Structure 1
């Protein structure tokens, strides 16, 4: 394998093994559909599969023939190096899997036979973690970047579909709205389908959210396993996303714990819960240096580094935006919160688009703004009260979106980066908006059988 990370064109292996895997995935998908075709919701299953496969291939083609390199091709090279290392020196491969990067140098066990991973990927733990994940699948792609990309797209397809069935089991939103929000948003499909950190974070977030809500109804061992696994993946990849999900869930759990108990019991438990939250916040602010990347100092400093890098590094092309912040302190970040959140959710505006993909996202933002404005329409006071499970889901989703939007809007700096990082929060926000504007309408489609969706 080449020691560089350029990948200028697809190879013969790309065409052959990608075609083979596409045939395999199509057969699997058809089999799943035939077993469930009586369920009316499965009319979206095959279109969703081909939509994700198309966007996954389009994403890989765009990166290879437009840039010739990037994070995704570097992840591929790192995965190939790890796979070749496993074949030559299994003990060193296991060492790489369970340990972090060794610093600014490449260990000597990487050589001409294993290939040399890109140093800028290897020395960044979050990015190198993606290479580790991808290395498990690299054994089955026969040195094909496109095939490895397609495997990630298929896994993303199955997880996204599972989430669609999950929300259909208890939400009263029309099925078409749910399908749009979860299955068919163009930028989400493009940026969260291929071999990218965004795909891993998005899929792990869906798994974490599903199992957290399931655990509220009845904790099982499988829920614990999936919660721990998905939380670990998110924490190792993009830690602020883990914070944005867990904080709303913990607060929601405290206020819904013992919700059927007497007033005095609820008052005592919630008071104790709020006290614990403030105690944790105090302890975290005082001793957060022990949390390494999740410490307050590192979160602020990391945000500053990323923001300044995107603002000042001329290697990043594209239109920039400025939140007007001059110094990076906790107080200045708090003051900038409303602008950062609005930027992440609604920008780029359509007049700020500088290319085709930006134009598509600008149109998405315009549609999202339109539906958001419909939230302020006069509501029916006699509308049925939202069911408890739906209420818990939307509280977690809404506040997760706001926290995530703050981090994304604050650190991106470039509209091109903003479009990519904001993609995972759009489905959650759209679900909330769709539910609010349609909750007064009769339920058009009955939810799935709970056993089917929550199994």
Structure 2
């Protein structure tokens, strides 16, 4: 951060908030309007706080993204054509950009990080290469997708719009790690837009072409950085669409015939989508997923030895899918409910531990009050709950096995956190009143017998 951050950033903040206030009425309703500006604000605060933390204590990714985006920014100053080629390049080094690529160690074929540099370089052009402004613009971009996620959830279950706002916007880990100049921010925003496009285009069947185009674009954005997010999201999303469309069929006989057909088509589409995603990155081919997970986990566990005991061990990996399946239950517990409070070693781990504790207590409360089998039945019968929990479990397994330390895990797992907590709140709003009503009926039914006795 430099002196220019102090006097340039306020002007951009005023511009962002002016635009936000201008468009608020068109993207909110009477219930959600009051959350729009506060939700944007926590994203902005998270982006600035993350930048301060990294610039003063940690160093690392966000600083590296900014430094390399600055290289591209100065290339634009030397030659607009050279800068444009660096932004749009597929990884080939030409004489026009050769003197810059030596400073861009993420430049080249197959680099997921370079997509962030492309975006940051374009934003640098709009902000005089000011780190804080770039980070705030990342937060605003991410916020757009998160707001569409929130509005989709609120439309599906408006009874819990307050709780859904907490789930999507006000979890500390999500607005801190998912707001600044990082891959996680762009992926989180793109996932929110993709979720909205599935609901608007495939379930409501409105603006189908626009949703298709935006959905493909957002899928490409995620694919450019974190393929595994799409691999985890696509199957439950297609299952969600299948369940919603078959549930709307009034005739039981037609539903009985249509379900296998829809399920078969959905399975084919899911397999095709996953194969195409995996083909785009050979690390995610089915026969290499286990091996790649082991390599990643081993590396992160080595790193965690220098991070004040933030590592965890859920068992040895053998690099196979079968080995991953054996570790799946422990991985789910780690990703959703750990670190435990006594495992916290620093303030950021403590925040993550408080969130995980809340997840655990709310989950146990629902199972206790409703019952295990009735809870599972409710999840299976409400399509959006199936999406939330299947995606969360798949994602929890992938990041829980491959992370190896809590410092990395808290960043990796933020895409699942809004879905899991939203699913819990929706599930609670459906099942807990029903359980209370059944208990009341049993008490009423017992009154005559007690009076007679």
TM-score (norm: length of structure 2): 0.83
**For residues 301 and 93 of structure 1, do their structure 2 counterparts lie closer, same or farther at Cα, with a shift above 3 Å needed?**
farther
State the 1:248 CA deviation: 0.9
State the 1:108 CA deviation: 5.4
Asked if the contact 1:320–1:414 (Cα under 8 Å) also holds between the matched residues in 2, the reply is: yes
Q: Does 1:226 align with 2:217?
A: no
Q: Does 1:324 align with 2:334?
A: no
Structure 2 CA distance for aligned equivalents of residues 54 and 287 of structure 1: 38
Structure 2 CA distance for aligned equivalents of residues 23 and 334 of structure 1: 50
Deviations 1:288-337 (A, max 9, x none): 98554341134333322211111124786241111212311111011111
Partner of 1:369: 360
Partner of 2:131: 145
Larger fraction in helix: 2
**For residues 316 and 83 of structure 1, do their structure 2 counterparts lie closer, same or farther at Cα, with a shift above 3 Å needed?**
farther
Matches within 5 A, 1:264-413: 264-275=253-264, 290-293=279-282, 294-313=284-303, 317-318=307-308, 319-379=310-370, 391-413=382-404
Q: Does 1:170 align with 2:164?
A: no
Structure 2 CA distance for aligned equivalents of residues 387 and 437 of structure 1: 11
TM-score (norm: length of structure 1): 0.83
Asked if the contact 2:86–2:97 (Cα under 8 Å) also holds between the matched residues in 1, the reply is: no
Structure 2 CA distance for aligned equivalents of residues 382 and 414 of structure 1: 35
Q: What RMSD in Å do the two structures reach over aligned CA positions? A: 3.4
Deviations 1:159-201 (A, max 9, x none): 3223222322221443321121112111100001111111111
Matches within 5 A, 1:15-164: 15-33=6-24, 39-67=30-58, 69-102=59-92, 109-110=96-97, 117-120=103-106, 125-164=111-150
Structure 2 CA distance for aligned equivalents of residues 349 and 201 of structure 1: 27
Structure 1 CA distance for aligned equivalents of residues 362 and 111 of structure 2: 39
Asked if the contact 2:115–2:225 (Cα under 8 Å) also holds between the matched residues in 1, the reply is: yes
State the 1:282 CA deviation: 8.0
Secondary structure, in 3 states, of the residue corresponding to 1:193? Answer: coil
**For residues 292 and 360 of structure 1, do their structure 2 counterparts lie closer, same or farther at Cα, with a shift above 3 Å needed?**
closer
Structure 1 CA distance for aligned equivalents of residues 274 and 21 of structure 2: 52
Computing the radius of gyration over CA atoms, which structure comes out larger, 1 or 2? 2
**For residues 173 and 427 of structure 1, do their structure 2 counterparts lie closer, same or farther at Cα, with a shift above 3 Å needed?**
farther
Structure 2 CA distance for aligned equivalents of residues 18 and 101 of structure 1: 33
State the 1:125 CA deviation: 1.4
State the 1:225 CA deviation: 1.1
State the 1:236 CA deviation: 1.2
Q: Which has the higher contact order (CA 8 A, sep 6+)?
A: 1
Structure 2 CA distance for aligned equivalents of residues 79 and 188 of structure 1: 24
Structure 1 CA distance for aligned equivalents of residues 272 and 139 of structure 2: 41
Secondary structure, in 3 states, of the residue corresponding to 1:297? Answer: coil
Structure 2 CA distance for aligned equivalents of residues 198 and 44 of structure 1: 23
Asked if the contact 1:172–1:435 (Cα under 8 Å) also holds between the matched residues in 2, the reply is: no
Secondary structure, in 3 states, of the residue corresponding to 1:296? Answer: coil
Asked if the contact 1:14–1:145 (Cα under 8 Å) also holds between the matched residues in 2, the reply is: yes
Asked if the contact 2:146–2:193 (Cα under 8 Å) also holds between the matched residues in 1, the reply is: no
Q: Structure 2, unaligned stretches of length 5 or more?
A: 435-453
Deviations 1:396-439 (A, max 9, x none): 12111111111111111111000111122111100111122222
Deviations 1:37-60 (A, max 9, x none): 982422222222222222211110
**For residues 198 and 89 of structure 1, do their structure 2 counterparts lie closer, same or farther at Cα, with a shift above 3 Å needed?**
same
**For residues 430 and 173 of structure 1, do their structure 2 counterparts lie closer, same or farther at Cα, with a shift above 3 Å needed?**
farther
Secondary structure, in 3 states, of the residue corresponding to 2:166? Answer: helix
Asked if the contact 1:77–1:118 (Cα under 8 Å) also holds between the matched residues in 2, the reply is: no
Q: Structure 1, unaligned stretches of length 5 or more?
A: 1-9, 444-455
Asked if the contact 1:211–1:223 (Cα under 8 Å) also holds between the matched residues in 2, the reply is: yes
Structure 1 CA distance for aligned equivalents of residues 209 and 41 of structure 2: 34
Asked if the contact 1:178–1:431 (Cα under 8 Å) also holds between the matched residues in 2, the reply is: yes
State the 1:26 CA deviation: 2.5
Partner of 1:193: 179
**For residues 258 and 440 of structure 1, do their structure 2 counterparts lie closer, same or farther at Cα, with a shift above 3 Å needed?**
closer
**For residues 379 and 280 of structure 1, do their structure 2 counterparts lie closer, same or farther at Cα, with a shift above 3 Å needed?**
closer
**For residues 267 and 99 of structure 1, do their structure 2 counterparts lie closer, same or farther at Cα, with a shift above 3 Å needed?**
farther
